[in-house]
Amino acid sequence: MSSSLKNLSSYNKDDIPSGEDNLFGIVVSQWNDSITDALLNGAVETLIENGVDQKDIYVQYVPGSFELPFGASKLLEKKKFDAIICLGCIIQGQTRHFEFISSAVAQGIMQVSLQKDIPVVFGVLTTNDLEQAKQRSGGDLGNKGVEAAITALKMASL
């Protein structure tokens, strides 16, 4: 089903494992910060709503989405996290730069997860324009940060 037909942040709280006593890291891109700040707020609120104590959520900022995998790797060296959430926003421009960055970020996040044996969640918007990013960071289509937090809660419980 097309994501344009539903709010991606809707979930049944009874289907989500409690995050109580879990430790979560969130790595956030500062590029497109009006979008990534909204993603971060959605992720943090969702974790707290599902039993995670505010003190058990660590936030690390990186300059852009390309730096998310490195930021996740460094965060994992600091503490034993149950899951890491990577939040970013890559907006299509007039060149192929978008394709290279999007692919590298997705591959990098997956690589960190497999190498460190910890769930590292891909909460990166890859949109055609700013309006699409707004719709997916708290607009009519929900908030990808909420979706990423739900994924992290589920993966941490494995």
What's residue 8's pLDDT? 58
CA angle 122, 125, 62 (to 5 degrees): 70
Tell me how crowded residue 14 is: count the other CB atoms within 10 A of its CB: 5
What's residue 97's pLDDT? 80
**Is 151 domain-assigned?**
no
Residue 2 — very low, low, confident or very high, per pLDDT cuts 50/70/90? Answer: very low
Selection from 154, 153, 133, 155 nearest residue 144 by Cα: 133
What's residue 93's pLDDT? 76
**Is 14 domain-assigned?**
no
Residue 1 — very low, low, confident or very high, per pLDDT cuts 50/70/90? Answer: very low
pLDDT at 136 over 50: yes
**Is 139 domain-assigned?**
no
Residue 124 — very low, low, confident or very high, per pLDDT cuts 50/70/90? Answer: very high
What's residue 7's pLDDT? 65
**56-60, 138-142, 149-153: lowest mean pLDDT where?**
138-142
* CATH value at residue 71: 3.40.50.960
Total domains, the chain: 1
**Is 150 domain-assigned?**
no
Mean of pLDDT values over 93-119: 91
Active site residues: 97
Gap between the Cα atoms of 63 and 94, Å rounded: 21
- Count CA atoms within 13 Å of residue 1 on its CB side: 6
Quick: pLDDT tens for 47-63. 999 999 999 999 999 99
**Is 12 domain-assigned?**
no
Gap between the Cα atoms of 156 and 123, Å rounded: 15
Q: List the domain range (segments joined by +) for residue 37.
A: 32-126
